[in-house]
Amino acid sequence: MNFADLGLSEELLQAVEAAGYTEPTPIQAQAIPPVLMMKDLIGIAQTGTGKTASFVLPMIDILAHGRRRALMPRSLILEPTRELAAQVAENFEKYGKNHDLKMALLIGGVQMGDQVKALTEGVDVLIATPGRLMDLFERGKILLTGCELLVIDEADRMLDMGFIPDIENICSKLPTNRQTMLFSATMPPPIKKLSDRFLSNPKYIEVARPATANINIVQHKVAVTARKKREVLRHLLRTDNVSTAIVFCNRKTTVRELAKSLKGHGFGAGEIHGDMDQPARLAELDRFKSGDVNILVASDVAARGLDVKGVSHVFNFDTPWHPDDYVHRIGRTGRGGASGRAFTFVAPEDAEAIDNVEKLTGHKIPLFDLQTEEAEEAREEKPKARRASRETARDTDRREVPEKREVPEKREESARRAPRREARAPAEEPRRERRQRRSEAEPADDGWNGPVPEFLKVSALA
């Protein structure tokens, strides 16, 4: 089967051919015809299967007929992250170059001015993240009553990020008579409930079992302690034939520190995480895509929506906390039919997290045997032995040296104190003599108990 068999227009087929594609992927082959027939659709497909084109291509042909109006987009695509929204926008530009369609991108981290201007002029396709869309809606800068087509992409990620209430709010403001498509890698109960509420008799397509990983990706887990992660990562980057790699971390601080460490060891590394503004993120992505750096250290902000051809490796520097994120992380490699390799570092404290990943994917991830592990341990034992010998020698010195120095030190101390005692002695002697004279001058008690003599009374009164 080729794209011409799917009912796409000639202008669109030319754009697809110019992009270098000849055969549709399974999700594209099954999704495009019902979308063109204006049916609602649920698409369950793992990342990297080409699902973005499965709704972008038919939308371009559907929107080719009609006219746009100010502040009233004709179609809406909701994405969980800025990166994924930008990726979809690139697809529209690439495939829609032979059509007179206008697109607007509503994402956070950039100025609203240009976005509002584009909406004022009218757009056919609005690609947005829920937060920025609701912000502009509450400001009265956009109307959703003219939206005829809705796409909810990466619905399970929307759930993880807490966007489901926003999605429900947005859907309630759209026309009830619309076409809706929902795409997700998994179908947890809240997503099923959402689809039952807002989709009408949808066509259900599943091209892979939910939460399965791409079969073109060779997966490994690496047993490692937390303090050895950086060393093992550098070893694999040097020895596993890495051309380009994405290294995922659970924390933004880890992303920054690891990128700095890799640069310090001579690797061409960039970084991307949630604390960076959108221009900085795009600049780092452009450096990675252009080959200025071949290693991108990233948080889960890049786990979805990052489509870079030729990524040979994915490293989970941290085992992901959420098992669904594992599937999306490793899906950054092995895209478009290419092969890829994925390594997940598993520290002792990650036992529960990796068990959840293996339960979700339905198979045990094989343990990777580091070829040079024994040699590294041997090299580590030598410094340890040298440190132990030095510490033993220091302990011996501590036991011996005080025995030699103890007597002289006491003698010197006694010698220093002796003159002080001698100097104080003359001053103390007169006090003893005065006390003795006072005691001798005082009348002794001779045992007299009679009346006081008269002469004593007189002398006392005088």
CA distance 255 to 444: 95
Q: Has residue 57 got a pLDDT over 50?
A: yes
Tokens of 457: 């009374």
Are 166 and 294 in a shared domain? no
- Rounded Cα–Cα distance for residues 70 and 408 (Å): 98
**Is pLDDT at 319 greater than 80 in this prediction?**
yes
- The verdict on 177 and 29 lying in the same domain is yes
121 shares its domain with 222: no
pLDDT at 429 over 80: no
pLDDT surpassing 90 at residue 428: no
What b-and-e string marks burial along 348-366, b requiring 16 or more CB atoms within 10 Å of the CB? Answer: eebeebbebbeebbeeebe
Question: Are residues 244 and 201 part of one domain?
Answer: no
First vs last C-alpha separation in the chain: 144
Residue 459 lies in a domain: no
Q: What strand order describes the sheet that includes 245-248?
A: 217-223, 340-346, 313-316, 245-248, 295-298, 269-272
Helices (H) and strands (E) in the chain, counts: 16, 13
Residue whose pair of structure tokens reads 């992009």 in the numeric block: 19
Minimal CA–CA distance to 329: which of 297, 357, 302?
302
Based on the fold, state whether residues 62 and 199 are members of the same structural domain: yes
Task: Convert the pLDDT of each residue in 40-53 to its tens digit.
Answer: 999 998 766 789 99
Q: Above 60 in pLDDT, residue 22? A: yes
Q: In what order do the strands lie in the sheet with 103-106?
A: 103-106, 125-128, 75-78, 149-152, 179-184, 41-44, 203-206
- At residue 179, the 3 state secondary structure works out as strand
Are the C-beta atoms of residues 342 and 217 closer than 8 Å to each other? Answer: yes
Q: Residue 456: pLDDT band by 50, 70, 90 thresholds?
A: very low
Residue 411 placed within a domain: no
Tokens (6 digits) for 215: 């079969």
Are 34 and 203 in contact by the 8 Å Cβ rule? The answer is: yes
- Picking from 376, 395, 417, the residue at the C-terminal end of a domain is 376
Residue range 61-99, pLDDT digits in tens: 999 988 999 999 999 999 998 888 988 999 999 999 999
Q: Is the per-residue pLDDT at 165 higher than 70? A: yes
pLDDT 10s digits, 196-254? 999 999 999 998 655 666 678 999 999 999 999 999 999 999 999 999 999 999 999 99
Both structure tokens of 128: 């947005």
Q: What is the pLDDT of residues 263-303, one digit of tens each?
A: 999 999 999 988 888 788 889 989 999 999 999 999 987 76
> Does the pLDDT at position 420 exceed 70?
no
**Under a CB-based contact definition with an 8 Å cutoff, are residues 185 and 298 in contact?**
no
Are 164 and 228 part of one and the same domain? no
Q: Is residue 282 part of a domain?
A: yes
Asked whether residue 384 is domain-assigned, the answer is: no
Both 279 and 368 in one domain: the answer is yes
Say what the pLDDT of residue 370 is: 81
Q: What is the pLDDT of residue 47?
A: 67
More confident residue, 461 or 194: 194
Q: How many residues does the chain have?
A: 462
Give yes or no: residues 185 and 255 share one domain: no
Domain containing 357 — which CATH number?
3.40.50.300
Please indicate, yes or no, if residue 458 is contained in any of the structural domains: no
At residue 278, the pLDDT reads 77
Say if residue 451's pLDDT is above 60.
no
- Tally of domains within the chain: 2
Asked if residue 153 and residue 40 are part of one domain, the reply reads: yes
Among the candidates 187, 206, 225, a domain finishes at 206
Report DSSP letters for 150-178, one per residue: EEE-SHHHHHHTT-HHHHHHHHHTS-SS-
What mean pLDDT, rounded, does the chain reach?
A: 83
Tell me if 441 is assigned to some domain: no
Q: Do 243 and 133 fall into the same domain?
A: no
Q: What is the pLDDT of residue 304?
A: 66
Task: Point out which residues pair with 151 in neighbouring strands.
Answer: 77, 181
* Whether residue 185 is found in the same domain as residue 41: yes
DSSP 8-state code for residue 251: S
Q: Rounded CA gap, 328 and 81, in Å?
A: 13
Query: Helix (H, G, I), strand (E, B), or coil: what is residue 415?
Result: helix
Reported as a pLDDT band with limits 50, 70 and 90, residue 396 is: very low
Q: Which amino acid is at 229?
A: K
pLDDT reported for residue 334 = 85
Indicate if 116 and 182 belong to the same structural domain. yes
From 206, 237, 266, the end of a domain falls on 206
Mean pLDDT of the 309-324 span: 92
pLDDT, tens only, 323-346: 888 988 898 888 767 889 999 999
* Domain membership flag for residue 143: yes
The domain in which residue 222 lies consists of 217-376
Structure tokens given for 394: 């220091």
Strands 340-346 and 75-78: unpaired
* Domain annotation covers residue 224: yes
